[in-house]
Amino acid sequence: MRLLIDVGNTALKAALCLQGEIKPCDVSALPWRQINELVYASVGKNEQLNGLLAQASAFQVPCFEAKVTKQLSNLSCAYQQFSNLGIDRWLGLIAAFQLWPQQDCIVIDTGTATTIDVLTAQGQHLGGWILPGLDLMTRSLTQNTQRVFDDANTPFANELGVNTPNGLKNGALVATLGAVEQAKLHLTNKKPQLIFAGGYGALLKAQFLDAIYDPQLVMKGLNYWYELSKN
Ligand SMILES: Nc1ncnc2c1ncn2[C@@H]1O[C@H](COP(=O)(O)OP(=O)(O)O)[C@@H](O)[C@H]1O
Ligand SMILES: CC(C)(COP(=O)(O)O)[C@@H](O)C(=O)NCCC(=O)O
Ligand SMILES: [K+]
């Protein structure tokens, strides 16, 4: 069994991969004796990750860290300084390229930040954008203004705001949706496959026709990275 670990700026996510099936798991109750290798990706330092790596070595489980490369199979990274690209973004691109081959894709991962990456059918990463995540957007305003306030029961909606929490939340949503529309302009094919992942992925996916929400996208990318890199 393969343990997959994805460390973001907010949370560490874990999953177990068995015969190609990826299932989220709880790191506090890991079947260490059935784990053959630990494959991980991290966008920053993380104490919890260090603890897991220490446990892995205690159980003699080999560990492999995913890194961004300029090229991986037919996928190529837009960044000259490819090591500066967030590994989560690279993994999302790997998963999109493997799952939707010969298809222009836009990968949107909503975590602490919302990242948007444009990928051509030929596997060329054209680049993308880094936006504050929806909660980061709303928090930055409530914490830096006197009269903008939020309301936990107000949903994010693609509508004009008719009160302060509406204006705040809907503004964060439409800013993010607008960026996705802008990303489409960088592809000649006007109907690229939109692939959403991350905490608000389902919410964003619902705003578009024929879009995909895959909460395990980054984990699938991590697994593909390992398969493609170990050979
Ligand atoms: N189930 C959820 N419902 C709503 N928001 C979520 C949920 N999970 C995550 N989020 C949002 O995404 C952020 C963290 O999600 P995650 O994908 O774990 O981020 P990261 O990859 O940056 O660690 C949270 O700050 C919150 O904004
Ligand atoms: C933008 C990110 C922080 C998103 O990570 P997350 O929201 O998952 O914590 C991450 O992709 C990152 O650290 N990127 C490095 C800068 C870049 O991608 O250009
Ligand atoms: K993420």
Please check whether residues 59 and 109 belong to one and the same domain: no
Domain of 42? 2-65
Both 55 and 79 in one domain: the answer is no
Residue with the nearest Cα to atom 16 of ligand 1?
A: 111
- Domain with residue 52: its CATH number is 3.30.420.40
191: CA distance to ligand 2 center in Å?
26
Q: Which domain-ending residue is among 46, 65, 84?
A: 65
Same domain for 116 and 194, yes or no, is yes
Whether residues 91 and 155 fall in one domain? yes
Q: CA torsion 196→197→202→208, rounded to 10°?
A: -10
From the CA of 114, give the closest atom in ligand 2. Answer: 7
Q: Is 86 annotated as a binding residue?
A: yes
Give dist(CA 101, CA 106) in Å, integer: 13
For residues 111 and 177, membership in a common domain is answered with: yes
Tell me, what's the pLDDT at 189? 84
Residue 228 lies in a domain: no
* Dist CA 171 CA 190 (whole Å): 25
Cα separation, 91 vs 75, in Å, equals: 11
Confidence at residue 49, expressed as pLDDT on a 0 to 100 scale: 97
Report how many domains make up the chain.
2
> Does one domain contain both 35 and 85?
no
- ipTM (interface pTM): 0.88
**Among protein residues, the one whose CA lies closest to atom 3 of ligand 1:** 199
Q: Say whether both 58 and 109 belong to one domain.
A: no
Q: Is 164 annotated as a binding residue?
A: yes
Residue 89 CA: nearest ligand 2 atom is 11
Which tokens is 168 given?
A: 């705040």
Q: pLDDT in tens for each of the 231 residues of the chain?
A: 999 999 999 999 999 999 989 999 999 999 999 999 999 999 999 999 999 999 999 999 999 999 999 999 999 999 999 999 999 999 999 999 999 999 999 999 999 999 999 999 999 999 999 999 999 999 999 999 999 999 999 999 999 999 999 999 999 999 999 999 999 999 998 799 999 999 999 999 999 999 999 999 999 999 999 999 987
215: left (phi over 0), alpha (psi -120 to 50) or beta: alpha
Closest CA to 201 of 214, 184, 210: 214
Q: Is residue 207 assigned to a domain?
A: yes
Q: Which residues line ligand 2 (CB under 6 A)?
A: 8-9, 43, 84-86, 88-89, 111-113, 115, 130
Structure tokens that stand for 99 in this block: 């799952």
- Adjacency order of strands within the sheet including 113-119: 125-132, 113-119, 105-110, 193-198, 212-213
148: annotated binding-site residue?
no
CA distance 216 to 171: 27
Examine the domain organization and report whether 157 and 138 are in the same domain. yes
Distance CA 231, CA 226 (A): 9
Identify the domain boundary among 65, 90, 115.
Answer: 65
132 CA distance to ligand 1 middle (Å): 12
User: Do 33 and 107 sit in the same domain of this protein?
Assistant: no
Q: pTM of this prediction? A: 0.95
Most ligand 2 atoms within 8 A of CB, residue of 7, 68, 88 to mutate: 88
88 is catalytic: yes
- Ligand 1 pocket: which residues have CB below 6 Å? 8-11, 111-112, 133, 135, 198-200
Residues 58 and 78 in one domain: no
User: Based on the domain organization, do 129 and 143 belong to the same domain?
Assistant: yes
